[in-house]
Structure 1
Amino acid sequence: MSAAEFSYKLRVYIEDTDAGGIVYYVNYLKFMERARTEFMRELGYGKDAIFNHGLMFVVRDMAVRYLRPAQLDDLLEATVRLIDLGGASMTLAQEVRRGAEVLATATVTVACVERAGVRPQRLPRDMTDSLRAARDTNGN
């Protein structure tokens, strides 16, 4: 399946690094989370829009591979590509890159749940349509 890729640029700050100036591993997850949030915001589903539907998203499963270290002051790009869309979940492929160099990759499944009871909830039709359109376009 051909899928469009969303990209989010970020800078590595001192707070992102360990004592050796290397990005601490958990911060790659934060970079990816920001990219997923901005991806949804780009589609018109910022925090308010999602909360107005009485929904929230939770990570159900994530597999990460760390390939190369990022360092203080690097300019990075975190990407999101939708690879599967279910009734109440989506699976995304993510990368963190420095230029053309891939530093970390992840596959993450995010479940849609109702805010009140934190039970699985189908994605709203308009959101599903927007996600499908983003997946099927050639640009972001």
Structure 2
Amino acid sequence: MNYRFPVRVYYEDTDAAGIVYYANYFRFMERARTEWLRAMGFEQDLLRQEHGIVFVVRSAAADYRAPAKFNDLLWVTGALIENSRTAMTIEQNIYRQEDDKLLCRGEVGIVCVDIDSFRPTPIPAAILEKIKNAE
């Protein structure tokens, strides 16, 4: 595990049964990836403005193991498992803080794209270096 981000489950995250709606796990993962980059010193809006790049999701998978419920405190983790010049695959898991129970195992594929052409472009070396050094 390279990064761990805390999330509290709010009422708006749940369905009528009081459990987290399945799609919201991807929102939690997105927040964790954003905060992971921020913790390494990279703001996504500045990457867009100064370098003309954005990161887009090309694939996302989730294996739901147990439900998260209203008011639970969660950990969302992130770890680089594969990368190329233009893409990364990040393992992202969600655990309940109270008992460290794995609730959701996820894998997200990210591509770095040029903001004007939306064509793949190399991930800045500084970002890859910091992610790899965090392992």
Which TM-score band (shorter chain)? over 0.9
Tell me how far apart the structure 2 counterparts of residues 69 and 128 of structure 1 sit (CA, whole Å).
33
DSSP 3-state at the match of 1:22: coil
Partner of 2:101: 101
Flag the structure with more relative contact order, 1 or 2, with Cα contacts below 8 A and sequence separation at least 6. Answer: 1
- In the TM superposition, what are the counterparts of 1:19-30 in structure 2 within 5 Å? 19-30=16-27
- In the TM superposition, what are the counterparts of 1:44-83 in structure 2 within 5 Å? 44-51=41-48, 52-83=50-81
Give the letter aligned to residue 47 of structure 1: Q
Tell me how far apart the structure 1 counterparts of residues 84 and 103 of structure 2 sit (CA, whole Å).
28
Farther-moved stretch of structure 1 (86-95 vs 45-54):
45-54
**Normalising to structure 1: TM-score of the pair?**
0.90
DSSP 3-state at the match of 2:134: helix
DSSP 3-state at the match of 2:4: strand
DSSP 3-state at the match of 1:76: strand
Gaps of 5+ in 1: 136-140
Give the letter aligned to residue 12 of structure 1: V
DSSP 3-state at the match of 2:129: helix
Farther-moved stretch of structure 1 (50-59 vs 124-133):
124-133
RMSD: 1.1
DSSP 3-state at the match of 1:68: coil
Tell me how far apart the structure 2 counterparts of residues 60 and 114 of structure 1 sit (CA, whole Å).
14
**Normalising to structure 2: TM-score of the pair?**
0.93
Moved over 2 A (4+): none
Partner of 2:133: 133
Partner of 1:85: 83
Gaps of 5+ in 2: none
Q: Kindly provide the CA deviation profile for residues 67-108 of structure 1, in whole angstroms up to 9, marking residues without a partner as x.
A: 100110001110001111210011111101103100001111
Q: How far off its partner does 1:18 sit? A: 0.6
Tell me how far apart the structure 1 counterparts of residues 67 and 91 of structure 2 sit (CA, whole Å).
19
Give the letter aligned to residue 111 of structure 1: V
Partner of 1:10: 7
Tell me how far apart the structure 1 counterparts of residues 11 and 51 of structure 2 sit (CA, whole Å).
37
Partner of 2:40: 43
Partner of 2:113: 113
Q: What is the percentage of aligned positions where both structures have the same residue?
A: 41
